[in-house]
Structure 1
């Protein structure tokens, strides 16, 4: 038996299930006229009326009632078949969405370790500035939370209801500079010595992202230092730029150590004082509960949590003798 056109069957099934041509049109992203045309063509093909048409509603005829359950079940089976094929096609694929700065300065340098252990995983890194919470409540929509990924690393407050959340790092600010500034007649030995050095600043292009983040005024106050002009020195629009300037010897930055772990390890940046202040947000690994059933996703999550827990700059330094 030759089957009628699939589009006509789909239009009838949707209209019958909703008892509405307009709702069927919305579901299938076509016009109501297109749904009516498809259904009429199906009725002509079958030689039987499927709907009783009334001024403001439609109801099924006996023929339509007989057809609908099996047709709905058939479309459900088609959807399951497509989903199964897609699942096999994407087996082993893990899409990780992550803020650009963390991807560049921390995640990517470590990916060789993951590849050596899990060469069968098709890892895809997608850097997204949208993974930075700009205000509370911004991440209420599920579509924004993972931003297209299987796993997301978000910079925010960790309040992500309905998702599995693991804290990776405590984000904090700490003075950082080139080791060259620790030498010479104006050597940086105590916080009070900062009055003899250029202070580097950074301000985000998006003002909301700076809310709650410490600056030189708050850090010097916490260190008990007075009389330092905190307005002097250049300003950058991103912390990584300011930290690069510090590594080049241009001054001292109130930087974020997790973003400079490689520079600190190789010695191009040092942290002369242990006094740190929280930035008001931290980095979190986020995913749906169902993701834990996927071996590739679980392998990535286990690996990154292990890397984060062994990161020496994941927590602030003890600061009992901050005053130097």
Structure 2
């Protein structure tokens, strides 16, 4: 049989890989309706549906999953071959050393920023362009925080979120005891965006219907950490937020208990980066730093 339209294959592969018609449209610079039309045309050409369509969501069928993996491998081979050929052009080589990174602000400000000098020393020929907002498909790499149930196949989990209370060392010597989870109810708690996280964490410690009468609600994680360091209260921090501040002694973890939160920090690589110089170097360095972090924080 004749090959289907390349547009249809590209639209289907992107939608299956990203788990979203909308995200596929962004990557391909098309409208969602155009992507849907291309996929419908491909399905008519193949004589079968590749997606099971439900209310506001699509799920790849078993045969569709096989087809999507095969197309992904084929497109990857095309990208690699194209990049390998293009790298023989000397003037372009230096231009391709720039890596565009989209990074979640908390991850950047409280963890990654202080490690970047190490990357620059190891790879002085690689320039980084870092943003904290924008469309993921416009960047070579994206570091994002996402709920587990929302993480599509294009995202690779780097670090699961583990939450633990942290505070200024001075609170340990204060007049209010801080020896057990129940003691938290007598302290000023600092909340991130809403009070649900603290409530769930306390319930995991067997404290039901126990919430303090007061607590600041802040919408910036860097501010939360600064408030905790300044003795304003006890914050519930994930390991990325707290690792360096705990090591420096600017914060302490008064309790040993840590509980998982159904989210994590994920890495996404834009398909078209292929063998782009610098991207692989940064990704390998980042994953090595993350592995060190997980060992230091005893994260399995």
- TM-score category, normalised to shorter length: 0.5 to 0.7
1:107 equivalent to 2:112? Answer: yes
Aligned to 1:279, what secondary structure does the other structure show? strand
Structure 1 counterpart of 2:212: 230
Q: Aligned to 2:293, what secondary structure does the other structure show?
A: coil
Partners of 2:259 and 2:114 in 1: how far apart? 26
Count residues in correspondence.
212
Contact 1:214 1:277 survives alignment (8 Å): no
Pick one of 122, 127, 136 that aligns with 1:117.
122
Q: Distance in 2 between matches of 1:313 and 1:252?
A: 25
Q: Name the counterpart of 2:268.
A: 286
* Further displaced range: 193-202 or 104-113: 193-202
Distance (whole Å) between structure 2 residues aligned to residue 312 and residue 88 of structure 1? 34
Name the structure 2 match of 1:186.
Answer: 176
Residue matched to 1:90: 95
Whole-angstrom CA distance in 2 between matches of 1:317 and 1:152:
22
Does structure 1 retain, via aligned residues, the 8 Å contact 2:139–2:270? no
Task: Tell me how far apart the structure 2 counterparts of residues 237 and 304 of structure 1 sit (CA, whole Å).
Answer: 27
Aligned to 1:167: 157
Which of 209, 220, 227 is the aligned partner of 1:245? 227
Q: Does 1:276 align with 2:258?
A: yes
TM-score (norm 1): 0.58
Whether 1:262 and 2:253 are equivalent positions in the alignment is no
- Shift of residue 265 of structure 1? 1.1
2:283 to 284, 289, 301: 301
Q: Which has the bigger relative contact order, CA under 8 A and spacing at least 6? A: 2
- The structural deviation recorded for 1:273 is 1.9
- Structure 2: 5+ residue stretches without partners: 1-84
- Please, what TM-score do these two structures have when normalized by structure 2? 0.62
Q: CA RMSD in A?
A: 2.9
Structure 1, unpaired ranges of 5+? 1-79, 131-143, 204-209, 319-324
Cα distance in 2, alignment partners of residues 299 and 292 from structure 1: 12
Question: Residues 219 and 316 (structure 1 numbering): CA distance in 2 closer, same or farther, change over 3 Å?
Answer: farther
Shift of 1:173: 2.0
